[in-house]
Structure 1
Amino acid sequence: MLQVRLLKLSQLVSTTKRLRHFYSNMDCSELLPPASVRGMTELKREEFKKSVKIPRLHVPESKAQHVMPLVKKLLLKMEQLRPVRAVESAREILLHPLPVKSWQSLPTEELEKTTTDRKTFPMYQLELQYENWSAQEILKSVLPVGEEGLSSYSRIGHIVHLNLRDHLVPYKALIGQVLLDKLPNCRTVVNKAANIDNTYRNFQLELICGEPQYQVETKEHGVTFEFDFSQVYWNPRLSTEHERIVQLLQPGDVLYDVFAGVGPFSVPAAKKRCHVLANDLNPTSYHWLQHNAKRNKCLSYIQMYNKDGRDFILKELRENLLERWRAPTDHPYKLHVTMNLPAMAVEFLDAFRALYTSEQLADLNLNLPLVHVYSFAKGENTKALVQELVESNLGASLTQELEGISFVRNVAPNKDMYRVSFRLTKELLTTPKQATRKRCLEEELVEKQLTNKVKCV
């Protein structure tokens, strides 16, 4: 008898594990919006009404607490729908039609022990409407079949930021209204109107739906940021990358942030009691950088500049590095440089070449910085391409100096974003770009000549 009970218990546990997830409504045709809404470009909520038959249990109130654990994983989960309802001293339990096809689909033996039987299992005519479907379910039912749907969007505070493909543009008003209806605390929906091609690198936005209110407040890894999204660059998809760099830093380390924006690297680093020199050309970004440093109470650890990135490297970074190298210290610290302007940051790498003369660095114990430069690469072997971009603009081949090439994210088909981390050397810092490039070419030529001689022998 004990063995039989253990076997039944094992079967029940196994069933529970299989049903650990709630079943997806997208896999059940009965629960999808009506087919007639396909191709709708103007949102008409009343056309989403649909009547479906749903399995249910009708259980006396006194038995409900025993029945619920047995069917909890089989409940029908839809928006604005309570799957368990109180009705005249009883509970009506709505079940998902995908796993529950009949009475036999339920754990019948356990239910019968609670005096729940087939008589308590009538079908129920359920009236569904627009409020019962998620944004994903509605958009999938409306947008063209066979085309890529709305695969992703960004949330920045109360703003939803889209980057709609051409085939979705005719549906933009409907998409905006659905997201405004369905996403909590969403008040503004915008679409990326053009590529980032202006001096200050902020998005060109088109208001699709909601309020034209672009000042937002958002949190990233416990740090609060505030800014005008229409005037500065902010991408929440880089949140993990921001955290990766900040985790490399220890209190007392130094960060030179060449393209700081509103401070996603600089402010968390300063909060961590690192010494930060942060720069951005955009005066609006500079304003919000100052604001965010003040709001997060880390002003004493951060110096901020509103300059061109090249000018910042040639003056502030150069002078600060030299001052640190000349000052003896008993407390070792690391130096990092972040260059997060992936469309053009590599073009600033030559600013490090001949930043000092050999005489200036003679007899100094150099604590050499680790540079993290971000870049896009488009093609087949994007990792190799991005290394070529960095080396070409730096004017040197990276061998021992190269710390790593890290994939950050896919931007578009065959277009990826990478972080290339390399160590600045005394030779790079004291030798002009063309001189080193010429020497590299000469070395390559000598190597080829030696190789050819070996082949001839």
Structure 2
Amino acid sequence: MIRKLMNKHLCIVSYPQIVTYTQVLYRHYWKNMDYSTLHPPTSVRGITTLERNAFQKVISIPKLKVSEKNSQKVIPLIKKLLLKMDRLKPVRPLVEEQGFKEVLLHPGPVTGFDSLPKELFELGVNEKDFFFGELELSYENWRADEILKCVLPEEGEGLTSYSRVGHIVHINLRDHLQPYKALIGDVLKDKVAGCRTVVNKASTIDNVYRNFPIELICGDEDFQVEVKENGVCFEFDFSKVYWNPRLATEHERIVKILQPNDVLYDVFAGVGPFSVPAAKKRCTVLANDLNPESYKWLTHNAKKNKCSGNITTFNKDGREFILNEIREDLIRRLNEESPNYKIHLTMNLPAMSVEFLDSFRGLIGASEVDFTRTNLNYPLVHVYSFAKGDNTQEIVQKLVEDNLGVALKENLQSITFVRNVAPNKDMYRVAFYLTREILTTPKSIASKRKSSDIELDAGVPNPKIPCL
């Protein structure tokens, strides 16, 4: 079957693509196979307490007898056809005959000897070496997702994903899965390497400190973890701070933008995923978080990574941090002649970051900085926000503009998609430069226009809006 597909399409595939294309065809072919034989027994459907013995199952699968001296030539030819399951060796000594090996083949693509590569004939392998035999499978042979798919109700969404934070596995259980939480916890603890604790957290943050309610599902009641992200070690109590491993790539993007000697103002720093790597990169960092536990671990992680000399930490409300610490440091830096660094400002509290943007309006008096100079070192703001709807990029830009009270035009650098959070709900990073107009004109004076007057297109001025 694979050869037929290859012959049909090979004319459009260049030589370097052949291996990849073959793999795609195999995946396409195997995807349509009936693998019910290899599924856990149907009798486990609906159990709510893990009974490992209930997963015992005997199946019939194709096997191949190969001499030990010939195995090193045969196995590479049938590598893609081997039966690969957890804790199962597809090639093992044949107990009945010394000097021979038994090769376990996948019952999907291998339905008979003619399913095997014809090159085996040249190696002396023939139809008498092919046979079907029994194989006993158990709980140990299936992955967590395979087990849960066969146990949980067919109707309704199953457990689609989980997060790993140190020795903790974090899940978000929907209401219809609550009766199965003990079983789910036991399966994940068994199957996820290094897992000692499984917890269930609410999917939304419902308090001012950005941490979730937490429920211990199974395992050790130990929530202090150590994780490594982008080469930096972090320690924290997962039950008391916010940490999302899915943001590792975004943290890395920002840190890569920063150069040694740059300045970073981190308004909602958490335990330091932006601030600590920046300080390690020899940036000057002012980092703040309102949560006392986050502040504690932020300071700890700076010391742990030996970069506390480059970072000053604060435990304040974000608005207070902007109006005092950032204002004071920014005035000093804007008055410097020919600075050889850039200033960045991160605001990663996507549920409400945009609500703090009005703090920058009129932050600095016109007489406190010589704004007539052309080389002023204006900060680049990276503000994160959720947007829900059909045109989320336009929505997130309007959210920023409405809260800032001014249209983003030439000062808009980028709007970057970060990740999908839920159906029709996305997370974005909007990067824009603060300007003289923003910093010196209070929002109440600058704009008495309706929010609908704010122009969405950053490159086209709105004639209804006077230049500030």
Normalising to structure 2: TM-score of the pair?
0.88
Indicate the larger mover: 264-273 or 20-29: 20-29
Shift of 1:14: 7.2
Matched, 1:41 2:59: no
Aligned partners of 2:210 and 2:20: how far apart in 1? 52
| Other-structure match for 1:402 | 412
Shift of 1:16: 10
The two structures, once aligned, show a CA RMSD in angstroms of 2.5
The alignment partner of 1:242 has SS state of helix
Aligned partners of 1:101 and 1:356: how far apart in 2? 76
Task: Provide closer, same or farther for how the CA distance between residues 57 and 283 of structure 1 changes in structure 2, counting only shifts above 3 A.
Answer: same
Shift of 1:107: 1.2
| Other-structure match for 2:390 | 380
Shift of 1:24: 6.9
Matched, 1:417 2:427: yes
Matched, 1:428 2:435: no
Task: Provide closer, same or farther for how the CA distance between residues 356 and 439 of structure 1 changes in structure 2, counting only shifts above 3 A.
Answer: farther
Structure 1 vs Structure 2: percent identity of aligned residues? 62
Aligned partners of 1:134 and 1:24: how far apart in 2? 18
Deviations 1:166-186 (A, max 9, x none): 222221111111100101001
Task: Provide closer, same or farther for how the CA distance between residues 298 and 122 of structure 1 changes in structure 2, counting only shifts above 3 A.
Answer: same
Aligned length: 437
Task: Tell whether the 8 Å contact from 1:225 to 1:292 is kept in structure 2 after alignment.
Answer: yes
The alignment partner of 2:114 has SS state of helix
The alignment partner of 1:170 has SS state of helix
Aligned partners of 1:137 and 1:189: how far apart in 2? 18
Task: Provide closer, same or farther for how the CA distance between residues 268 and 448 of structure 1 changes in structure 2, counting only shifts above 3 A.
Answer: closer
| Other-structure match for 2:13 | none
| Other-structure match for 2:348 | 340
| Other-structure match for 1:98 | 108
Task: Tell whether the 8 Å contact from 1:397 to 1:440 is kept in structure 2 after alignment.
Answer: no
| Other-structure match for 1:291 | 300
Task: Provide closer, same or farther for how the CA distance between residues 163 and 302 of structure 1 changes in structure 2, counting only shifts above 3 A.
Answer: same
Task: Provide closer, same or farther for how the CA distance between residues 440 and 360 of structure 1 changes in structure 2, counting only shifts above 3 A.
Answer: farther
Aligned partners of 2:428 and 2:19: how far apart in 1? 45
Matched, 1:260 2:269: yes
Task: Tell whether the 8 Å contact from 2:402 to 2:454 is kept in structure 1 after alignment.
Answer: no
| Other-structure match for 1:74 | 81
Task: Tell whether the 8 Å contact from 1:79 to 1:131 is kept in structure 2 after alignment.
Answer: yes
The alignment partner of 1:177 has SS state of helix
Deviations 1:205-260 (A, max 9, x none): 11111111100011111111110000100001111111111111111111100000
| Other-structure match for 1:455 | none
Shift of 1:19: 5.5
Aligned partners of 2:437 and 2:257: how far apart in 1? 25
| Other-structure match for 1:303 | 312
The alignment partner of 1:361 has SS state of coil
Shift of 1:439: 6.4
2:198 equivalent among 189, 198, 204: 189
Aligned partners of 2:452 and 2:126: how far apart in 1? 88
Deviations 1:91-131 (A, max 9, x none): 111011111110000013x2122221111111110011111
Aligned partners of 1:295 and 1:15: how far apart in 2? 46
Residue type of the alignment partner of 2:150: S
Task: Tell whether the 8 Å contact from 1:161 to 1:189 is kept in structure 2 after alignment.
Answer: yes
| Other-structure match for 1:127 | 136
Shift of 1:325: 2.0
Task: Tell whether the 8 Å contact from 1:341 to 1:374 is kept in structure 2 after alignment.
Answer: yes
The alignment partner of 1:336 has SS state of strand
Task: Tell whether the 8 Å contact from 1:37 to 1:48 is kept in structure 2 after alignment.
Answer: yes
Aligned partners of 2:453 and 2:390: how far apart in 1? 29
Task: Provide closer, same or farther for how the CA distance between residues 384 and 205 of structure 1 changes in structure 2, counting only shifts above 3 A.
Answer: same
Task: Provide closer, same or farther for how the CA distance between residues 112 and 220 of structure 1 changes in structure 2, counting only shifts above 3 A.
Answer: same
| Other-structure match for 1:244 | 253
Residue type of the alignment partner of 2:22: R
Aligned partners of 1:311 and 1:356: how far apart in 2? 14
Residue type of the alignment partner of 1:359: S
| Other-structure match for 1:3 | none
Residue type of the alignment partner of 1:419: R
Structure 2: 5+ residue stretches without partners: 1-6, 11-16, 456-461
Map 1:263-278 onto structure 2 (within 5 A). 263-278=272-287
Residue type of the alignment partner of 1:29: S
Aligned partners of 2:454 and 2:300: how far apart in 1? 51
Task: Tell whether the 8 Å contact from 1:26 to 1:137 is kept in structure 2 after alignment.
Answer: no
1:55 equivalent among 52, 62, 84: 62
Matched, 1:359 2:367: yes
Task: Provide closer, same or farther for how the CA distance between residues 430 and 14 of structure 1 changes in structure 2, counting only shifts above 3 A.
Answer: closer
Map 1:93-242 onto structure 2 (within 5 A). 93-108=103-118, 110-193=119-202, 195-242=204-251
Task: Provide closer, same or farther for how the CA distance between residues 441 and 32 of structure 1 changes in structure 2, counting only shifts above 3 A.
Answer: closer
Aligned partners of 1:256 and 1:419: how far apart in 2? 16
Residue type of the alignment partner of 1:105: S
Shift of 1:26: 8.8
Deviations 1:358-388 (A, max 9, x none): 1112355421001111111222322222222
| Other-structure match for 1:453 | none
Task: Tell whether the 8 Å contact from 1:25 to 1:31 is kept in structure 2 after alignment.
Answer: no
Task: Tell whether the 8 Å contact from 1:46 to 1:129 is kept in structure 2 after alignment.
Answer: yes
Shift of 1:157: 0.6
Aligned partners of 1:345 and 1:192: how far apart in 2? 22
Shift of 1:193: 3.6
| Other-structure match for 1:282 | 291
| Other-structure match for 1:452 | none
The alignment partner of 1:438 has SS state of coil
Residue type of the alignment partner of 2:54: E
Task: Provide closer, same or farther for how the CA distance between residues 102 and 369 of structure 1 changes in structure 2, counting only shifts above 3 A.
Answer: same
Aligned partners of 1:61 and 1:175: how far apart in 2? 42
